[in-house]
A and B are shown apart, each in its own frame.
Chain A
Amino acid sequence: MAQVNVKRKPLRIGVPKGSLYPDSLDILEAAGLPIQNLRDPGRQLIFREDGYEFIILRPTDVPTFVANGGADCAMCGEDSIIEANMEVVEMVDLKYGGCRFVVAEPAEAALTIDDSYSRLGVMKVATKYPRITKAYYDSIGTQVEIVQLHGNIELAPLCQMADRIVDITATGTTLRENNLRIVDDVMNSTARFIANPASVRIDDRIRNLAIKLSEVVASKENA
Protein backbone atom coordinates (compact mmCIF):
# COMPACT_ATOMS: atom_id res chain seq x y z
CA MET A 1 0.00 0.00 0.00
CA ALA A 2 1.29 3.45 -0.91
CA GLN A 3 0.91 4.89 2.53
CA VAL A 4 4.48 5.67 3.41
CA ASN A 5 4.11 9.44 3.29
CA VAL A 6 0.82 9.43 5.13
CA LYS A 7 2.12 7.32 7.99
CA ARG A 8 4.76 9.93 8.74
CA LYS A 9 2.08 12.53 9.32
CA PRO A 10 0.15 12.59 12.59
CA LEU A 11 -3.59 11.94 12.25
CA ARG A 12 -5.35 15.27 12.67
CA ILE A 13 -8.59 15.05 14.65
CA GLY A 14 -11.00 17.94 15.09
CA VAL A 15 -12.72 18.30 18.46
CA PRO A 16 -15.67 20.69 18.74
CA LYS A 17 -15.55 23.07 21.68
CA GLY A 18 -18.73 23.89 23.58
CA SER A 19 -21.36 21.42 24.70
CA LEU A 20 -19.94 18.46 22.76
CA TYR A 21 -16.42 18.97 24.11
CA PRO A 22 -16.42 16.90 27.34
CA ASP A 23 -18.22 13.91 25.79
CA SER A 24 -15.97 14.04 22.74
CA LEU A 25 -12.89 13.83 24.97
CA ASP A 26 -14.44 10.98 26.97
CA ILE A 27 -15.13 8.86 23.90
CA LEU A 28 -11.70 9.53 22.41
CA GLU A 29 -10.12 8.54 25.72
CA ALA A 30 -12.24 5.40 25.89
CA ALA A 31 -10.98 4.57 22.40
CA GLY A 32 -7.44 4.82 23.76
CA LEU A 33 -6.33 8.20 22.42
CA PRO A 34 -3.98 10.48 24.39
CA ILE A 35 -6.28 13.42 25.14
CA GLN A 36 -5.23 14.23 28.76
CA ASN A 37 -3.77 17.60 27.78
CA LEU A 38 -7.02 18.66 26.14
CA ARG A 39 -8.92 18.48 29.44
CA ASP A 40 -7.74 21.93 30.40
CA PRO A 41 -6.88 23.51 27.05
CA GLY A 42 -6.65 27.17 28.06
CA ARG A 43 -6.26 29.13 24.86
CA GLN A 44 -4.27 26.50 23.05
CA LEU A 45 -5.88 25.33 19.80
CA ILE A 46 -3.50 22.61 18.61
CA PHE A 47 -2.29 19.69 20.73
CA ARG A 48 0.42 17.45 19.33
CA GLU A 49 0.56 14.03 20.92
CA ASP A 50 2.26 10.84 19.83
CA GLY A 51 0.94 10.16 16.33
CA TYR A 52 -2.00 12.55 16.70
CA GLU A 53 -2.74 16.20 16.29
CA PHE A 54 -5.91 17.43 17.99
CA ILE A 55 -7.40 20.73 16.90
CA ILE A 56 -10.14 22.54 18.78
CA LEU A 57 -12.82 23.91 16.48
CA ARG A 58 -15.97 25.97 16.62
CA PRO A 59 -18.77 23.39 16.23
CA THR A 60 -20.19 24.94 13.05
CA ASP A 61 -16.73 25.05 11.44
CA VAL A 62 -16.06 21.33 11.92
CA PRO A 63 -17.54 20.22 8.55
CA THR A 64 -15.56 22.95 6.76
CA PHE A 65 -12.29 21.75 8.28
CA VAL A 66 -13.02 18.12 7.48
CA ALA A 67 -14.33 18.67 3.93
CA ASN A 68 -11.38 20.87 3.02
CA GLY A 69 -8.73 18.63 4.53
CA GLY A 70 -7.92 20.89 7.50
CA ALA A 71 -8.73 17.89 9.69
CA ASP A 72 -8.65 14.22 8.66
CA CYS A 73 -11.59 13.40 10.88
CA ALA A 74 -13.63 14.91 13.71
CA MET A 75 -16.50 14.68 16.14
CA CYS A 76 -19.39 16.81 14.92
CA GLY A 77 -23.06 17.45 15.68
CA GLU A 78 -25.40 16.14 13.01
CA ASP A 79 -27.03 19.57 12.94
CA SER A 80 -23.76 21.19 11.84
CA ILE A 81 -23.20 18.50 9.20
CA ILE A 82 -26.61 19.02 7.64
CA GLU A 83 -26.40 22.80 7.85
CA ALA A 84 -22.96 22.87 6.21
CA ASN A 85 -23.95 20.47 3.40
CA MET A 86 -20.37 19.55 2.58
CA GLU A 87 -18.72 16.42 1.31
CA VAL A 88 -17.74 14.42 4.41
CA VAL A 89 -17.96 10.73 5.22
CA GLU A 90 -20.35 10.18 8.13
CA MET A 91 -18.95 7.07 9.81
CA VAL A 92 -20.36 6.54 13.31
CA ASP A 93 -23.37 7.76 15.29
CA LEU A 94 -21.70 8.56 18.62
CA LYS A 95 -25.13 8.83 20.34
CA TYR A 96 -24.12 11.61 22.75
CA GLY A 97 -24.92 15.32 22.46
CA GLY A 98 -28.57 14.57 21.73
CA CYS A 99 -30.76 17.56 21.03
CA ARG A 100 -34.04 18.37 19.32
CA PHE A 101 -34.65 20.83 16.53
CA VAL A 102 -37.94 22.49 17.29
CA VAL A 103 -40.22 25.20 16.01
CA ALA A 104 -41.26 27.61 18.76
CA GLU A 105 -43.42 30.72 19.03
CA PRO A 106 -44.47 33.19 21.71
CA ALA A 107 -46.86 31.36 24.05
CA GLU A 108 -49.85 33.61 23.34
CA ALA A 109 -49.28 34.15 19.63
CA ALA A 110 -50.83 31.17 17.82
CA LEU A 111 -53.90 32.88 16.45
CA THR A 112 -52.22 36.03 15.24
CA ILE A 113 -49.52 34.05 13.43
CA ASP A 114 -52.03 31.92 11.53
CA ASP A 115 -54.04 35.06 10.73
CA SER A 116 -51.11 37.01 9.44
CA TYR A 117 -49.82 34.01 7.47
CA SER A 118 -53.10 33.66 5.62
CA ARG A 119 -53.12 37.38 4.84
CA LEU A 120 -49.45 37.87 4.08
CA GLY A 121 -48.78 34.46 2.56
CA VAL A 122 -45.40 34.33 4.19
CA MET A 123 -44.09 33.72 7.68
CA LYS A 124 -40.91 35.09 9.20
CA VAL A 125 -38.71 32.55 10.93
CA ALA A 126 -35.54 33.34 12.85
CA THR A 127 -32.84 30.69 13.09
CA LYS A 128 -29.17 29.89 13.24
CA TYR A 129 -29.85 27.08 10.76
CA PRO A 130 -31.28 28.48 7.50
CA ARG A 131 -30.72 25.30 5.52
CA ILE A 132 -32.46 22.97 7.96
CA THR A 133 -35.25 25.54 8.39
CA LYS A 134 -35.79 25.91 4.64
CA ALA A 135 -35.86 22.12 4.16
CA TYR A 136 -38.38 21.71 7.00
CA TYR A 137 -40.78 24.40 5.75
CA ASP A 138 -40.46 23.16 2.16
CA SER A 139 -41.47 19.71 3.40
CA ILE A 140 -44.67 21.03 4.99
CA GLY A 141 -45.43 23.46 2.17
CA THR A 142 -45.21 26.69 4.12
CA GLN A 143 -43.56 29.73 2.58
CA VAL A 144 -41.15 31.45 4.90
CA GLU A 145 -38.72 34.30 5.03
CA ILE A 146 -35.69 33.26 6.99
CA VAL A 147 -33.94 35.71 9.30
CA GLN A 148 -30.50 34.33 10.05
CA LEU A 149 -29.04 35.07 13.48
CA HIS A 150 -25.94 33.81 15.24
CA GLY A 151 -27.24 33.50 18.79
CA ASN A 152 -30.05 34.40 21.23
CA ILE A 153 -32.62 33.35 18.67
CA GLU A 154 -35.36 33.66 21.33
CA LEU A 155 -35.13 37.44 21.04
CA ALA A 156 -36.41 37.56 17.47
CA PRO A 157 -40.12 36.85 18.13
CA LEU A 158 -40.01 38.84 21.37
CA CYS A 159 -38.84 41.87 19.34
CA GLN A 160 -41.43 41.21 16.60
CA MET A 161 -38.66 40.56 14.08
CA ALA A 162 -39.93 37.04 13.40
CA ASP A 163 -43.12 35.03 13.99
CA ARG A 164 -41.42 31.81 14.93
CA ILE A 165 -37.98 30.38 15.54
CA VAL A 166 -36.28 27.13 14.61
CA ASP A 167 -33.63 26.24 17.14
CA ILE A 168 -32.05 23.37 19.01
CA THR A 169 -33.02 22.56 22.56
CA ALA A 170 -31.78 19.93 24.96
CA THR A 171 -34.19 20.50 27.85
CA GLY A 172 -36.50 23.30 26.68
CA THR A 173 -35.62 25.49 29.67
CA THR A 174 -34.40 28.51 27.70
CA LEU A 175 -37.53 28.47 25.57
CA ARG A 176 -39.83 28.33 28.62
CA GLU A 177 -37.91 31.11 30.36
CA ASN A 178 -38.50 33.31 27.36
CA ASN A 179 -42.17 32.46 27.25
CA LEU A 180 -41.88 30.47 24.02
CA ARG A 181 -43.67 27.21 23.42
CA ILE A 182 -42.74 24.36 21.11
CA VAL A 183 -45.15 23.89 18.21
CA ASP A 184 -43.39 21.24 16.14
CA ASP A 185 -40.39 18.92 16.00
CA VAL A 186 -38.06 19.33 13.04
CA MET A 187 -35.47 16.63 13.72
CA ASN A 188 -33.26 15.06 16.35
CA SER A 189 -29.51 15.38 16.27
CA THR A 190 -26.63 13.51 17.88
CA ALA A 191 -22.86 13.73 17.56
CA ARG A 192 -21.21 11.92 14.66
CA PHE A 193 -17.71 10.79 13.78
CA ILE A 194 -16.95 12.20 10.34
CA ALA A 195 -13.97 11.96 8.02
CA ASN A 196 -12.55 13.57 4.93
CA PRO A 197 -13.43 11.42 1.87
CA ALA A 198 -9.85 11.38 0.61
CA SER A 199 -8.21 10.81 4.01
CA VAL A 200 -10.47 7.88 4.83
CA ARG A 201 -9.34 6.15 1.63
CA ILE A 202 -5.66 6.91 1.98
CA ASP A 203 -5.21 6.46 5.69
CA ASP A 204 -6.34 3.23 7.42
CA ARG A 205 -6.04 4.79 10.87
CA ILE A 206 -9.37 6.56 10.35
CA ARG A 207 -11.33 3.38 9.68
CA ASN A 208 -9.63 1.73 12.65
CA LEU A 209 -10.58 4.66 14.87
CA ALA A 210 -14.17 4.48 13.57
CA ILE A 211 -14.32 0.79 14.51
CA LYS A 212 -12.99 1.51 18.01
CA LEU A 213 -15.46 4.37 18.49
CA SER A 214 -18.42 2.23 17.44
CA GLU A 215 -17.25 -0.45 19.89
CA VAL A 216 -17.19 2.14 22.67
CA VAL A 217 -20.68 3.33 21.70
CA ALA A 218 -21.99 -0.25 21.63
CA SER A 219 -20.46 -1.14 25.01
CA LYS A 220 -21.98 2.00 26.56
CA GLU A 221 -25.40 1.10 25.17
CA ASN A 222 -25.16 -2.42 26.56
CA ALA A 223 -23.89 -1.25 29.95
Chain B
Amino acid sequence: MIATTPRGFKDVLPEEARVREQLNKKITAAIDLWGYDPIETPTLEVLDVLERGSKLDSTAFRLFDGDNKLLVMRPDVTLPIARMVASRLGNEDKKLRFRYNLRVFRDSESAKSHSREFTQIGIERIGAKGPAADAETIIVFVESLLASGLEDFKIEICNVEVLKKLLEACDASEEFNDAVLTAYHESNYVKLDEVLDAASLDAEISACIRELIRIHGGREAISRCRELLSGYVREQVFDELDKTYEIIEECGYAEYVGIDFSLLSSFDYYTGLIMEAYAPGFAKSIGGGGRYDNLLEVFGKKAPAAGFAFSLERLMHALSVQDNLALEPKAEEFIDQDDPEAFKKAMEAHKKGITTTIGGAR
Protein backbone atom coordinates (compact mmCIF):
# COMPACT_ATOMS: atom_id res chain seq x y z
CA MET B 1 0.00 0.00 0.00
CA ILE B 2 1.22 3.48 -0.83
CA ALA B 3 1.86 5.59 2.25
CA THR B 4 -0.14 8.76 1.55
CA THR B 5 0.02 12.29 2.91
CA PRO B 6 -2.99 13.77 4.75
CA ARG B 7 -5.73 15.18 2.52
CA GLY B 8 -4.72 18.49 1.03
CA PHE B 9 -1.01 18.18 1.79
CA LYS B 10 1.74 17.40 -0.69
CA ASP B 11 5.43 16.77 -0.93
CA VAL B 12 7.64 19.17 -2.84
CA LEU B 13 10.13 17.22 -4.92
CA PRO B 14 13.44 18.75 -6.04
CA GLU B 15 12.42 20.24 -9.37
CA GLU B 16 9.39 21.98 -7.90
CA ALA B 17 11.37 22.96 -4.81
CA ARG B 18 13.99 24.61 -6.98
CA VAL B 19 11.35 26.53 -8.97
CA ARG B 20 9.82 27.69 -5.69
CA GLU B 21 13.22 28.73 -4.40
CA GLN B 22 14.01 30.72 -7.54
CA LEU B 23 10.63 32.46 -7.47
CA ASN B 24 10.97 33.26 -3.78
CA LYS B 25 14.36 34.78 -4.40
CA LYS B 26 13.16 37.05 -7.22
CA ILE B 27 10.01 38.15 -5.39
CA THR B 28 11.83 38.73 -2.10
CA ALA B 29 14.44 40.86 -3.86
CA ALA B 30 11.71 43.02 -5.45
CA ILE B 31 9.93 43.57 -2.12
CA ASP B 32 13.18 44.14 -0.24
CA LEU B 33 14.03 47.12 -2.46
CA TRP B 34 11.07 48.94 -0.91
CA GLY B 35 12.56 48.54 2.53
CA TYR B 36 10.56 45.64 3.96
CA ASP B 37 12.16 43.48 6.69
CA PRO B 38 11.59 39.74 6.97
CA ILE B 39 9.45 38.46 9.81
CA GLU B 40 8.15 35.10 11.05
CA THR B 41 5.26 34.25 13.35
CA PRO B 42 4.49 30.91 15.01
CA THR B 43 2.63 28.14 13.16
CA LEU B 44 0.15 27.86 16.04
CA GLU B 45 -1.79 30.71 17.60
CA VAL B 46 -4.35 30.88 20.40
CA LEU B 47 -7.74 30.84 18.67
CA ASP B 48 -9.44 33.28 21.05
CA VAL B 49 -6.71 35.82 20.55
CA LEU B 50 -6.88 35.72 16.75
CA GLU B 51 -10.65 35.78 16.76
CA ARG B 52 -10.56 39.15 18.46
CA GLY B 53 -9.51 40.42 15.04
CA SER B 54 -11.80 38.47 12.72
CA LYS B 55 -14.18 35.55 12.78
CA LEU B 56 -12.31 32.55 11.45
CA ASP B 57 -14.50 30.01 9.71
CA SER B 58 -12.17 28.33 7.27
CA THR B 59 -9.49 27.13 9.67
CA ALA B 60 -8.23 23.65 8.85
CA PHE B 61 -6.89 22.54 12.23
CA ARG B 62 -7.80 23.35 15.78
CA LEU B 63 -6.25 21.51 18.68
CA PHE B 64 -5.90 21.60 22.44
CA ASP B 65 -2.47 21.81 24.02
CA GLY B 66 -1.45 20.63 27.50
CA ASP B 67 -2.53 23.98 28.99
CA ASN B 68 -6.07 23.34 27.71
CA LYS B 69 -5.75 26.25 25.30
CA LEU B 70 -7.61 25.96 22.02
CA LEU B 71 -5.02 26.55 19.34
CA VAL B 72 -5.31 27.06 15.62
CA MET B 73 -2.83 26.53 12.81
CA ARG B 74 -2.59 30.03 11.36
CA PRO B 75 -5.14 30.54 8.58
CA ASP B 76 -3.59 33.87 7.61
CA VAL B 77 -0.57 35.97 8.52
CA THR B 78 -2.10 39.43 8.85
CA LEU B 79 -3.83 38.61 12.14
CA PRO B 80 -0.69 37.13 13.77
CA ILE B 81 1.38 40.12 12.63
CA ALA B 82 -1.20 42.55 14.00
CA ARG B 83 -1.12 40.62 17.28
CA MET B 84 2.66 40.64 17.33
CA VAL B 85 3.07 44.31 16.53
CA ALA B 86 0.47 45.35 19.11
CA SER B 87 1.89 43.15 21.88
CA ARG B 88 5.63 43.09 21.18
CA LEU B 89 6.29 46.48 19.66
CA GLY B 90 3.68 48.30 21.70
CA ASN B 91 5.29 51.49 22.86
CA GLU B 92 7.51 52.38 19.98
CA ASP B 93 5.56 54.52 17.58
CA LYS B 94 7.68 53.37 14.69
CA LYS B 95 6.70 53.03 11.11
CA LEU B 96 7.14 49.37 10.29
CA ARG B 97 7.49 47.49 7.03
CA PHE B 98 7.41 43.69 7.16
CA ARG B 99 7.57 41.01 4.52
CA TYR B 100 6.94 37.32 5.04
CA ASN B 101 6.93 33.95 3.33
CA LEU B 102 5.00 31.53 5.52
CA ARG B 103 2.72 28.54 5.27
CA VAL B 104 -0.96 28.99 6.13
CA PHE B 105 -3.59 26.30 6.66
CA ARG B 106 -7.12 26.58 5.35
CA ASP B 107 -10.02 24.33 4.61
CA SER B 108 -13.33 24.94 2.95
CA GLU B 109 -16.37 22.76 2.65
CA SER B 110 -16.74 23.41 -1.05
CA ALA B 111 -13.17 22.41 -1.87
CA LYS B 112 -12.69 19.14 -0.06
CA SER B 113 -10.14 17.81 -2.51
CA HIS B 114 -8.04 20.94 -2.60
CA SER B 115 -4.88 21.95 -0.74
CA ARG B 116 -5.05 22.74 2.92
CA GLU B 117 -1.53 24.11 3.10
CA PHE B 118 -0.53 27.23 1.18
CA THR B 119 2.60 29.31 0.99
CA GLN B 120 1.74 32.96 1.47
CA ILE B 121 4.10 35.67 0.37
CA GLY B 122 3.12 39.10 1.55
CA ILE B 123 3.81 42.41 3.23
CA GLU B 124 2.32 44.45 6.03
CA ARG B 125 3.01 48.12 6.46
CA ILE B 126 2.15 49.54 9.84
CA GLY B 127 1.87 53.16 10.92
CA ALA B 128 1.07 54.80 7.60
CA LYS B 129 -2.14 55.76 5.85
CA GLY B 130 -3.36 57.90 2.99
CA PRO B 131 -3.05 57.59 -0.78
CA ALA B 132 0.76 57.28 -0.78
CA ALA B 133 0.64 54.36 1.66
CA ASP B 134 -2.20 52.67 -0.26
CA ALA B 135 -0.43 53.21 -3.57
CA GLU B 136 2.81 51.75 -2.20
CA THR B 137 0.99 48.57 -1.13
CA ILE B 138 -0.51 48.16 -4.60
CA ILE B 139 2.75 48.99 -6.38
CA VAL B 140 4.77 46.49 -4.32
CA PHE B 141 2.08 43.90 -5.15
CA VAL B 142 2.41 44.68 -8.88
CA GLU B 143 6.20 44.53 -8.72
CA SER B 144 6.20 41.22 -6.81
CA LEU B 145 4.07 39.60 -9.49
CA LEU B 146 6.13 41.14 -12.29
CA ALA B 147 9.34 39.94 -10.58
CA SER B 148 7.96 36.40 -10.58
CA GLY B 149 7.70 36.57 -14.37
CA LEU B 150 3.90 36.89 -14.49
CA GLU B 151 3.09 39.12 -17.46
CA ASP B 152 -0.67 39.09 -17.66
CA PHE B 153 -2.59 39.89 -14.49
CA LYS B 154 -4.97 42.37 -12.99
CA ILE B 155 -5.16 43.71 -9.47
CA GLU B 156 -8.70 44.90 -8.86
CA ILE B 157 -9.09 47.50 -6.13
CA CYS B 158 -11.88 49.35 -4.39
CA ASN B 159 -12.69 50.92 -1.04
CA VAL B 160 -14.98 49.02 1.36
CA GLU B 161 -16.02 52.33 2.91
CA VAL B 162 -18.19 53.03 -0.14
CA LEU B 163 -20.55 50.11 0.42
CA LYS B 164 -20.44 50.57 4.22
CA LYS B 165 -21.46 54.24 3.98
CA LEU B 166 -24.16 53.42 1.48
CA LEU B 167 -25.62 50.84 3.86
CA GLU B 168 -25.43 53.32 6.75
CA ALA B 169 -27.36 55.82 4.63
CA CYS B 170 -30.07 53.18 4.08
CA ASP B 171 -30.67 53.05 7.82
CA ALA B 172 -32.26 49.63 7.28
CA SER B 173 -32.40 46.48 9.40
CA GLU B 174 -29.30 44.46 10.22
CA GLU B 175 -30.87 41.57 8.31
CA PHE B 176 -31.03 43.69 5.20
CA ASN B 177 -27.41 44.80 5.60
CA ASP B 178 -26.27 41.20 6.06
CA ALA B 179 -28.23 40.07 3.01
CA VAL B 180 -26.65 42.82 0.88
CA LEU B 181 -23.16 42.03 2.18
CA THR B 182 -23.68 38.31 1.55
CA ALA B 183 -24.84 38.97 -2.01
CA TYR B 184 -21.78 41.19 -2.59
CA HIS B 185 -19.52 38.63 -0.98
CA GLU B 186 -20.89 35.80 -3.13
CA SER B 187 -20.86 38.09 -6.19
CA ASN B 188 -24.49 37.14 -6.63
CA TYR B 189 -26.08 39.92 -8.70
CA VAL B 190 -29.37 38.05 -8.90
CA LYS B 191 -29.66 37.66 -5.13
CA LEU B 192 -28.74 41.33 -4.67
CA ASP B 193 -31.56 42.36 -7.00
CA GLU B 194 -33.97 40.10 -5.11
CA VAL B 195 -32.95 41.54 -1.74
CA LEU B 196 -33.38 45.09 -3.03
CA ASP B 197 -36.72 44.30 -4.69
CA ALA B 198 -38.03 42.85 -1.44
CA ALA B 199 -36.90 45.79 0.73
CA SER B 200 -38.99 48.92 1.09
CA LEU B 201 -36.16 51.29 0.35
CA ASP B 202 -35.86 54.73 -1.14
CA ALA B 203 -35.73 54.09 -4.89
CA GLU B 204 -32.67 56.25 -5.44
CA ILE B 205 -30.46 54.58 -2.84
CA SER B 206 -31.72 51.16 -3.89
CA ALA B 207 -30.59 51.91 -7.44
CA CYS B 208 -27.18 52.97 -6.09
CA ILE B 209 -26.60 49.64 -4.31
CA ARG B 210 -27.80 47.79 -7.42
CA GLU B 211 -25.45 49.76 -9.65
CA LEU B 212 -22.36 49.83 -7.42
CA ILE B 213 -21.64 46.08 -7.82
CA ARG B 214 -21.55 46.62 -11.58
CA ILE B 215 -19.04 49.50 -11.59
CA HIS B 216 -15.63 48.53 -12.88
CA GLY B 217 -12.96 49.89 -15.20
CA GLY B 218 -9.95 52.18 -14.94
CA ARG B 219 -9.63 55.55 -13.22
CA GLU B 220 -12.84 56.78 -14.91
CA ALA B 221 -14.79 54.23 -12.84
CA ILE B 222 -13.92 56.24 -9.72
CA SER B 223 -15.58 59.35 -11.20
CA ARG B 224 -18.61 57.32 -12.26
CA CYS B 225 -18.93 56.00 -8.72
CA ARG B 226 -18.45 59.47 -7.24
CA GLU B 227 -21.21 60.84 -9.45
CA LEU B 228 -23.57 57.99 -8.66
CA LEU B 229 -23.11 58.19 -4.91
CA SER B 230 -22.75 61.92 -4.32
CA GLY B 231 -24.65 62.75 -1.16
CA TYR B 232 -24.25 59.25 0.30
CA VAL B 233 -20.48 58.86 0.48
CA ARG B 234 -18.14 61.68 1.41
CA GLU B 235 -15.99 63.12 -1.37
CA GLN B 236 -12.76 62.40 0.51
CA VAL B 237 -13.10 58.63 -0.09
CA PHE B 238 -13.12 59.20 -3.84
CA ASP B 239 -10.42 61.92 -3.68
CA GLU B 240 -8.11 59.46 -1.93
CA LEU B 241 -8.89 56.57 -4.25
CA ASP B 242 -8.32 58.84 -7.24
CA LYS B 243 -5.03 60.10 -5.81
CA THR B 244 -3.95 56.48 -5.18
CA TYR B 245 -4.74 55.62 -8.78
CA GLU B 246 -2.91 58.71 -10.02
CA ILE B 247 0.28 57.54 -8.29
CA ILE B 248 -0.14 54.10 -9.87
CA GLU B 249 -0.54 55.74 -13.28
CA GLU B 250 2.60 57.81 -12.71
CA CYS B 251 4.51 54.62 -11.93
CA GLY B 252 3.32 53.18 -15.23
CA TYR B 253 1.29 50.36 -13.68
CA ALA B 254 -2.25 51.48 -14.62
CA GLU B 255 -2.56 48.56 -17.07
CA TYR B 256 -2.27 46.13 -14.13
CA VAL B 257 -4.71 47.86 -11.80
CA GLY B 258 -8.48 48.11 -12.21
CA ILE B 259 -11.35 49.52 -10.18
CA ASP B 260 -14.03 47.00 -9.21
CA PHE B 261 -16.70 47.76 -6.63
CA SER B 262 -17.99 44.19 -6.57
CA LEU B 263 -15.04 43.14 -4.39
CA LEU B 264 -15.66 42.17 -0.81
CA SER B 265 -13.06 40.21 1.11
CA SER B 266 -13.91 37.20 3.25
CA PHE B 267 -11.90 38.78 6.07
CA ASP B 268 -14.04 41.35 7.81
CA TYR B 269 -11.22 43.49 9.26
CA TYR B 270 -10.67 45.68 6.19
CA THR B 271 -11.52 49.36 6.60
CA GLY B 272 -10.53 51.08 3.35
CA LEU B 273 -8.66 49.89 0.31
CA ILE B 274 -9.16 46.25 -0.64
CA MET B 275 -7.62 44.40 -3.57
CA GLU B 276 -7.70 41.03 -5.32
CA ALA B 277 -5.30 39.81 -7.98
CA TYR B 278 -6.44 37.71 -10.93
CA ALA B 279 -4.44 36.15 -13.72
CA PRO B 280 -5.53 34.29 -16.85
CA GLY B 281 -4.75 30.66 -16.18
CA PHE B 282 -5.98 30.51 -12.65
CA ALA B 283 -9.69 30.28 -11.92
CA LYS B 284 -9.62 32.01 -8.55
CA SER B 285 -7.98 35.05 -7.01
CA ILE B 286 -4.23 34.46 -6.59
CA GLY B 287 -4.00 36.89 -3.71
CA GLY B 288 -5.35 40.01 -2.13
CA GLY B 289 -5.21 42.40 0.76
CA GLY B 290 -6.11 45.85 1.88
CA ARG B 291 -6.18 48.41 4.66
CA TYR B 292 -7.10 47.44 8.20
CA ASP B 293 -6.81 50.56 10.35
CA ASN B 294 -8.82 49.20 13.31
CA LEU B 295 -7.28 45.75 13.61
CA LEU B 296 -4.24 46.55 15.76
CA GLU B 297 -6.43 48.34 18.28
CA VAL B 298 -8.26 45.11 19.18
CA PHE B 299 -4.87 43.66 20.09
CA GLY B 300 -3.98 46.69 22.21
CA LYS B 301 -2.30 49.29 20.06
CA LYS B 302 -3.92 51.75 17.72
CA ALA B 303 -2.16 52.12 14.38
CA PRO B 304 -3.18 52.24 10.74
CA ALA B 305 -1.92 49.38 8.58
CA ALA B 306 -2.23 47.78 5.17
CA GLY B 307 -0.80 44.80 3.35
CA PHE B 308 -1.26 42.07 0.77
CA ALA B 309 -0.50 38.39 0.44
CA PHE B 310 -0.64 35.93 -2.42
CA SER B 311 -0.34 32.19 -2.73
CA LEU B 312 2.93 30.97 -4.22
CA GLU B 313 1.20 27.80 -5.44
CA ARG B 314 -1.59 29.70 -7.21
CA LEU B 315 0.95 32.06 -8.75
CA MET B 316 2.89 29.03 -10.03
CA HIS B 317 -0.27 27.64 -11.69
CA ALA B 318 -0.83 30.97 -13.45
CA LEU B 319 2.84 31.17 -14.48
CA SER B 320 2.68 27.65 -15.84
CA VAL B 321 -0.37 28.39 -17.99
CA GLN B 322 1.24 31.62 -19.21
CA ASP B 323 4.37 29.58 -20.09
CA ASN B 324 6.58 31.45 -17.68
CA LEU B 325 7.39 28.71 -15.22
CA ALA B 326 10.83 27.56 -16.28
CA LEU B 327 13.70 26.30 -14.25
CA GLU B 328 16.74 28.46 -14.77
CA PRO B 329 19.62 26.46 -16.25
CA LYS B 330 22.56 25.82 -13.99
CA ALA B 331 26.15 24.81 -14.78
CA GLU B 332 26.90 21.45 -13.20
CA GLU B 333 30.03 19.33 -13.14
CA PHE B 334 30.67 15.78 -12.08
CA ILE B 335 33.89 14.30 -10.68
CA ASP B 336 34.51 10.58 -10.38
CA GLN B 337 35.10 9.52 -6.79
CA ASP B 338 38.04 7.39 -7.89
CA ASP B 339 39.90 10.53 -8.91
CA PRO B 340 42.49 10.94 -6.12
CA GLU B 341 42.02 14.70 -6.28
CA ALA B 342 38.23 14.57 -6.44
CA PHE B 343 37.55 16.63 -3.33
CA LYS B 344 40.27 19.13 -4.08
CA LYS B 345 38.90 19.65 -7.60
CA ALA B 346 35.36 19.98 -6.30
CA MET B 347 36.35 22.62 -3.79
CA GLU B 348 38.24 24.55 -6.48
CA ALA B 349 35.11 24.51 -8.66
CA HIS B 350 32.91 25.55 -5.74
CA LYS B 351 35.10 28.60 -5.22
CA LYS B 352 34.19 29.64 -8.76
CA GLY B 353 30.53 29.08 -7.98
CA ILE B 354 30.17 25.96 -10.12
CA THR B 355 27.95 23.22 -8.76
CA THR B 356 30.11 20.10 -8.61
CA THR B 357 29.16 16.66 -7.36
CA ILE B 358 31.33 13.66 -6.58
CA GLY B 359 30.10 10.14 -7.18
CA GLY B 360 30.59 6.68 -8.67
CA ALA B 361 31.15 6.21 -12.40
CA ARG B 362 27.97 7.06 -14.34
Chain A contacts to B: CB under 8 angstroms: 1-2, 4-6, 9, 67-69, 85-93, 192, 196-202, 207
Contacts and interface: CB of A to CB of B under 8 A. Distances in A.
Contact of A201 (B154, B256, B322): B154
A59 B255 CA distance: 37
Given A4-B152, A198-B282, A202-B154, A93 B110 contact: no
Given A198-B282, A201-B258, A201-B260, A90 B186 contact: yes
A192 B190 contact: yes
A92 B152 contact: no
A97 to B, nearest CB: 14
A5 B283 contact: no
Interface in B273-295: 276, 278-285
Contacts of B285: 197-198
8 contacts: A1-B154, A5-B280, A5-B322, A6-B280, A197-B187, A200-B187, A201-B276, A202-B279
Contacts of A198: 278-280, 282-285
B109 interface: yes
Contacts of B116: none
Contacts of A87: 110, 284
Given A90-B186, A91-B190, A202 B283 contact: no
B259 to A, nearest CB: 11
B281 to A, nearest CB: 8
Contacts of A196: 283
Given A5-B151, A200-B187, 9 more contacts: A1-B255, A2-B152, A2-B256, A90-B187, A92-B190, A93-B193, A197-B284, A201-B216, A207-B214
A201 B278 contact: yes
The list of the 5 closest CB pairs from A to B, nearest first, reads: A69-B283, A89-B187, A198-B278, A90-B188, A5-B152
Given A1-B218, A1-B258, A90 B282 contact: no
A197 B282 CA distance: 10
Nearest to A198: B278
Contacts of B216: 201, 207
A86 B110 contact: yes
Contact of A85 (B109, B255, B256): B109
B189 interface: yes
Contacts of A9: 280
B191 interface: yes
A11 B212 CA distance: 25
